[in-house]
A = this chain, B = another copy of it.
Amino acid sequence: MKAVVVSSGGPDSTTVLYLALKRGFQVFPLTFDYGQLAEREIEHARSIAERLGLRLLAVDLAAMKGVYSGSTSLVDERIPITEEFTSPIIVPFRNGIMLAIAVAYAQSIGATHVFYGAQESDAAHYPDCRPSFVEAFREAARRGTDSEIEIEAPLASMKKSEVIKLGTELGVPFKLTWSCYRQGERHCGVCESCNNRKRAFLEAGIRDPTMYENP
């Protein structure tokens, strides 16, 4: 059975990738360049896929800048990167777009499953990370493709520290994953995403292999 895995090069989606492989799927990782400043994410998604002998499909959505311009610091350089969430929606409906493309890709290659890495602590901030959204989207995808496609968010009820524990069991090379919102050589260690990453390893009681600019 084939599965499309939305793979951002981060610790969550990489854990999902390893989980899908463990469940025996032939995995097709899919990543997006939607004009985010952290292009480094994509390099990381690619090196993780290559390490596993998988072909990563990278879809260039840089033209989405026109859609999002002005609404989020992730794609607009004029808005400063904050260390905490400032708005309940950082990139409106980003997962909606990514899942829609993943469903199209799945249909195109005959995959029956789409996996993505939304987890519990995202859900408070991003409505399109909530299980109720995933359910509704699954229904829309089934009606819109006339198929029994399955959309799974296997981390949806897990904290990030639990994801770190699960990934460690599955052999995820966390050192190769990227979380930082900035484009540095190393993780900055101070943005909100780096802070979440640090906290997750700490809470999991697992040594954090990340090289931070500011440990």
Contact = CB atoms under 8 A, between A and B. Distances in A.
Which applies to chain A's interface (DSSP): helix, strand, loop or mixed?
A: helix
Interface residues of A, number: 45
| Number of copies of this chain that the complex holds | 2
A132 B140 CA distance: 8
Contacts of A108: 67-71, 92
Interface string A123-139: 00001101011001101
A140 B144 contact: no
Q: Top 7 nearest A-B pairs by Cβ distance?
A: A92-B107, A60-B63, A128-B144, A136-B140, A100-B100, A127-B146, A93-B104
7 contacts: A59-B63, A64-B101, A70-B108, A71-B107, A93-B145, A97-B97, A127-B145
Interface of A: 57-61, 63-64, 66-71, 88-89, 91-97, 99-101, 103-105, 107-108, 127-128, 130, 132-133, 136-137, 139-146
